[in-house]
Amino acid sequence: MAVRGLRGAVQLREDSENAVVDGTKRLLKEMLDANGMRHDDLISVLFTATPDLRSAFPAAAAREAGMADTPLMCAQELDVPGALPRVVRILAHAETDLPKRDIHHVYLDGAAVLRPDQAARPGGSE
């Protein structure tokens, strides 16, 4: 069993509590599904949000989704001019037998432009 990093991002349509919660839950589910994992496989999860997202904590959405015993942390992305707006990013650390090359990173909706090489993979985007 190894520790691997899972990456993902989703661009939200708006800054609202529902958009942040629903988008974060959807991204987490797609990341786990794409890698055949469950919440119990996660060691810790770091969430970031662009500075224009202020309506809810992405980690609170993960708690709502049942991640009550996984360490979670939120941070704000750097406010870089021209950066993609309304984006929640996730870096999850997981225990898995998957080799690094078989980990599927997930980029949903407008966030697919951040990593087109990853978005084309299974589970990469809609």
Tell me: pLDDT of 126 over 80: no
Tell me: pLDDT of 86 over 80: yes
Mean pLDDT over 23-41 rounds to: 96
Instruction: Calculate ∠ Cα 23-46-82, nearest 5°.
Output: 65
Active-site entry in 17, 26, 74, 86: 74
Active-site entry in 26, 30, 86, 107: 107
Active-site entry in 63, 64, 95, 126: 63
Known active-site residue 107: yes
Known active-site residue 89: yes
Known active-site residue 14: no
Known active-site residue 126: no
Active-site entry in 4, 26, 86, 115: 115
- Predicted TM-score (pTM) of the model is 0.89
Known active-site residue 74: yes
Contacts of 47 (CB under 8 A, 6+ apart): 24, 57, 58, 59, 62, 72, 73, 74, 75, 88, 89, 90
Greater confidence, 103 or 115?
Answer: 103
Least confident of 64-68, 98-102, 112-116, 119-123: 119-123
